Amino acid sequence: MNRRYYSSRKNKVRLSLRELYVKLQNLYLFFRDKDYFKEQAGITKHDLPSAIQHEAGIELDFQPFRITKWSVADLTEDHVFDTLEFLYDRASRPGELV
């Protein structure tokens, strides 16, 4: 994901909050589907454990799950970046759980 495509090389990219949220959604779904959140958070394509939802509710000042269905009130810069950091802290290499 390090490749800079034509439009980002040509122009300085400025994202609106909505565009940033769409990128967050796509990153979450991409890594979720590759099981990057399976080991530490138990999140898979077919399962979103209540434990990780409760943990997020305790650590953050809002509930980020379901990431693809945020209300307009939840769509803030702080929420997007808090969610990125929360997920980063729970990401691992994908693969089989042993």
pLDDT tens, the chain, 98 aa long: 677 777 667 777 688 999 999 999 999 999 999 999 998 999 999 999 999 999 999 999 899 999 999 999 989 999 999 999 999 999 987 666 55
Residue 44: strand pairing partners: 47
Domain coordinates in residue numbering, the chain: 24-88
- Give pLDDT, residue 10: 74
Contact in structure between 43 and 32 (CB atoms under 8 Å): yes
- Give pLDDT, residue 91: 93
Contacts of 81-84 with CB under 8 Å at 24 or more apart are 83/24, 84/24, 84/27
Predicted TM-score (pTM) of this structure: 0.80
- Give pLDDT, residue 96: 63
Radius of gyration of the chain (CA): 15
The two tokens of residue 98 are: 């042993």
- Give pLDDT, residue 4: 72
Q: Is 47 helix (H, G, I), strand (E, B) or coil?
A: strand
- Give pLDDT, residue 58: 95
Q: Is 44 helix (H, G, I), strand (E, B) or coil?
A: strand
- Give pLDDT, residue 98: 52
- Give pLDDT, residue 90: 93
Nearest to 45 by CA among 55, 54, 28, 32: 32
